[in-house]
Amino acid sequence: MNLANLMTNGGTGFLGAGILVAVIEGLFHRGGRRAEAAAQLAEAAGRKADTVIADHELWREEAKEAYDNAKAECAACKKELKEAKDEHEAELSKLQREMAEIRDALNKRLDAIDEMLPYVQGMPEDKMAEIRAANRAARLAVWRG
C-alpha cells in the first residue's frame, strides 16, 4: 500500500464516516426537533390550562361576589318589608282601637236617644217612629262594622 492508496482509502473512510455521522445526526436531530416541538406544545398547553384555571377562579370570585351582593340586597329588602309590616300592624291596631271607641261612643249616644224618646213631649208619633228607625239602622251599622 502506498501513500496515495492509503489517503484515498482513508478519505473514503472519512467520507463514509462523515455521511454516517450526518445521517445519524439528522435522525437524532429530527427526533430532537420533535421532542422540542412536543415540549413547546406541552408548555403552551400548560399556559392555556393556567389561563383557564385563572379564568375559572376569576369567574368563581365574580359569581360569589354577585351572590353575596344579591343576598345582602335580599336581607335589606326583608328588613324593609318587616319594618313596613310592623308599621302597618301598629297603624291597623291603632285604627281598630279608634273604631272600637267610636262604636262605644255611638252606642252610648243611641242608648241616650232611646231613653229620652218616651219623655219628649209634643213630638208627633210618626216623628218618634222615624227617630227609632234611624237608631235601629245606626245600631245595625255599628254591629256590622
pLDDT in tens, the chain (145 residues): 554 554 444 444 444 444 544 555 555 555 567 677 777 777 777 777 788 788 888 888 888 999 999 999 999 999 999 999 999 999 999 999 999 999 999 999 999 999 998 888 888 999 999 999 999 999 999 888 7
Tell the residue number behind the cell numbers 463514509, with chain if given.
16
DSSP 48-106: HHHHHHHHHHHHHHHHHHHHHHHHHHHHHHHHHHHHHHHHHHHHHHHHHHHHHHHHHHH
Domain boundaries, the chain: 3-144
